[in-house]
Structure 1
C-alpha cells in the first residue's frame, strides 16, 4: 500500500471538510432507514421541533467527521489511524440521512457547522497527539455522549414522526458499536469529572444548533 504524502493527506482532509459542510456533497452507502416508514402529517410546531432535533444530530455528525479525521492525522499506530478513517466513513451515512430528513421537513442544516467542524478537528488532532490510548478513549466517551442525545431525541420526537425515529434508531445502534470498538481496541475509560465536562460542552452545541 502506497504511503500518503503530507500533501495527499492535506488534500484528503480538505476534500472531507467540503463533503461534510457543503449540502448534498456526500452520498450514503446504505439506504436511508426513513424510507421504510410512511410520512405522517405534523403540526407546524411539531415540524419545527423535529427539525431542531434532526439539526442537532446532523451537527453531531459534522463534529464526528472532523473528530475522526483530526485523530487520524496524529494517531501513532497505523491500525488506529485506519480505524479512525473507517469510522469517519461509516458516519457519512448518518450525515446524509439527517440532511435528507431536514430537507423533507423543509428545514436547513446549522449555519454554525463550519465552526463546530474546526473545533472538533482541532480537538481530535490534540487527542491523537496525546496518545492512541487516550484518543480511542475520547472516541468512546464522545460516542457515549452521542448515544445519550439519540436516546433522548427518540423519546421526545413527535409520535407521528416515524421517519426521523427510524434514522435515529439505526444511528444509535452504530454509535454504540463504535464506542464499544474503541474501548476494545485499548481506549482509556475517562474519569467522571472529564465526562461531566464533555457533557457541558455538548450542551452548548445542542442548544445553539436547535434553532440555527
Structure 2
C-alpha cells in the first residue's frame, strides 16, 4: 500500500489541530491509563496541596513544551523516518500531558496561563533545529529529555511520601523520557556541548519559576 505524501499545507493544518489539542483544557486524550488511576487520594493540608500542584503544573507545562518541540521538528525534519520518530514521540508525550492535567484537577488547581507562550517558543526552537539538520534536531530531543529527567528526579524528591498518585505519574514519565532520549541518540542525534546545555538549563529555570504558581 502506498503511503500518502502530505503537502506543507496539510502538515500546517495538522500542527494547528495538535496545538489546540495541547492547549485547550481537557482536549488531550491519553492512550494509556494514568499510573495513578487505581491509587487512592490521601489527606493533605493546603500548603502541601499547593506545593504538589505547583510541581505538577511545572511538569504539565514541560509536556506542553515537549509537544511543541516535537511538532516543530516534525514540520521541518528532512528525512521521513526522523519525522515519523518525532510524531511517535509526541503521541506518547500526550499521555503525560493528560495525566498531569488530570492530577491538577484532583488537586483543585489548573494548568499555567503561560502555556500558549511557552508552546510558541518551543515550537519555534523545534522548527529551527529541524531546519539546521536532523542530527541537530535529534540531539536537541536527547538534551531536552535529559533535562526533563533531572527535573523529575528533583520533583520526586520533593513529593511527600504519602502522595503515591503524583509519584506514580512522575515515575512513569521519567521512564518514558529516558527511553525517548536514548532513542534520539541511537537514531544519530548529536551530543550537545556543555555551553548549549547550560543555556537550556537557564531557560528551564525561567519556565519553572513562571509556572509554579500560575
TM interval, short-chain normalised: over 0.9
Establish whether residue 176 from structure 1 lines up as the match of residue 178 from structure 2.
yes
Which of 60, 63, 66 is the equivalent residue of 1:61? 63
- Per the alignment, residue 115 of structure 1 pairs with 117
The alpha carbon displacement at 1:159 in A equals 2.0
Which whole-Å CA distance do the structure 1 matches of 2:108 and 2:208 have between them?
20
> 1:93 aligns to what?
95
1:186-207 Cα offsets, whole Å, 9 max, x none, are 0000011111111011000011
What residue number does 1:14 align with? 16
For structure 2, list consecutive stretches of 5 or more residues without a partner in the other structure: none
Distance (Å, rounded) in 2 between the aligned partners of 1:2 and 1:195 = 37
Q: Provide, for residues 73-125 of structure 1, a one-character-per-residue CA deviation record: whole Å limited to 9, x for no partner.
A: 11111100110000000000000000000000000000000000000000000
State the distance in 2 between where 1:78 and 1:9 align. Answer: 13
Tell me the distance in 2 between the aligned counterparts of 1:176 and 1:18: 27
Q: CA RMSD in A?
A: 0.6
Q: Distance in 2 between matches of 1:195 and 1:8?
A: 34
Is 1:163–2:165 an aligned residue pair?
yes
2:192 is the counterpart of 1:190: yes
- What 5-or-longer segments of structure 1 have no aligned partner? none
* Map of 1:28 onto structure 2: 30
**SS at 2:37 equivalent:** helix
Cα-to-partner distance string for 1:142-191 (whole Å, 9 max, x where unaligned): 00000000011011012221100100000000000000000000000001
Alpha-carbon offset, residue 36 of structure 1 = 3.1
TM-score using structure 2 length = 0.98
Matching of residue 73 in structure 1 with residue 75 in structure 2: yes
Q: 2:201 corresponds to which residue?
A: 199
CA distance in 1 between partners of 2:80 and 2:73 (Å): 12
Aligned counterparts of 1:189 and 1:5: Cα–Cα separation in 2:
32
Deviation at 1:62, TM superposition (A): 0.1
1:138 alignment partner in structure 2: 140
Stretches of 4+ aligned residues off by more than 4 angstroms: none
Counterpart secondary structure, 2:31: coil
Separation in 1, partners of 2:79, 2:98: 30
